[in-house]
Amino acid sequence: MKITKSEFISSYADVHKCPAPDKPEFAFIGRSNVGKSSLINMLTQTKDLAKTSSTPGKTQTINHFLINETWYLVDLPGYGYASVSKTIREGFGQMIEDYVQKRENLSCIFVLVDSRLEPQKSDLSFINWAGSKGVPLAIVFTKVDKLKLNELQRNVQQFKKAVLADWEELPPMIITSSEKKTGRDELLDFIDDALKVYKQQG
């Protein structure tokens, strides 16, 4: 798939105000500072489609971007950042839960995981919760350029083992680096295949 057009559509804290659910959506979520905005910009080859920030927890709304006028890329708030106030953290939880459970046009959630870290409870909790809701998801490892190959392999294996503690089989996993554009084709191919399925079901 080639992305020829990407445009910002809306930014809302209330899922009911999001665009009409008439196009398939692919949502990106992860712990704060996982590199979500950088990955979205790398994917769309746009410098600042998604606003990057050195302040974790910056995204506090559901942001819709229309891609190729046929599907939505959705930037969801980050989770698991301790410095955001407890009230806002709970709000993030409610906003995310409402979106995941109520958007009938949601084709897949890409859960971004920092490849440099050991398995994080917040990532595993979200993966298990979304899986329990029957939502299609894929795991995207970010910042892999920061690791040596053997370190990356070790960390990915650790994460797989942690996921398999609760899952019978692993969800799809994609290795990425926004810096090196690693995984861009794999992500776009994954979305392209999901769009074909969406079209057949529609």
CB 30 within 8 A of CB 113: yes
Residue pair 96/12 in contact by the 8 Å Cβ criterion: no
79's tokens? 């989770």
Q: Rounded to an integer, what distance in angstroms lies between the CA atom of residue 181 and that of residue 176?
A: 7
Is residue 91 scored above 80 in pLDDT? no
Q: What is the pLDDT of residues 155-165, one digit of tens each?
A: 999 999 999 99
pLDDT digits (tens, 9 = 90+) for 98-127: 899 999 999 999 999 999 999 999 899 999
- For tokens 């295949």, the residue is 193
> Is it the case that residue 36 has pLDDT exceeding 80?
yes
Select from 140, 105, 116 the least CA-distant residue to 126: 140
Instruction: Tell me which of 102 and 83 has the higher pLDDT.
Output: 102
- Find, among 104, 120, 106, the residue nearest to 76 by Cα: 106
The domains of the chain, with CATH numbers, are 6-197 (3.40.50.300)
* Contact criterion met (CB below 8 Å) for 133 and 126: no
Please name the residue ranges forming H helices in 16-105. 36-44, 86-102
Kindly indicate the confidence band of residue 94, based on its pLDDT and cuts at 50, 70 and 90.
confident
Is the four-CA dihedral 194, 196, 197, 202 of positive or negative sign?
positive
Q: Are 50 and 41 in contact (CB under 8 A)?
A: yes
The more confidently predicted of residues 50 and 178 is 178
The pLDDT, as a whole number, for residue 171 is 97
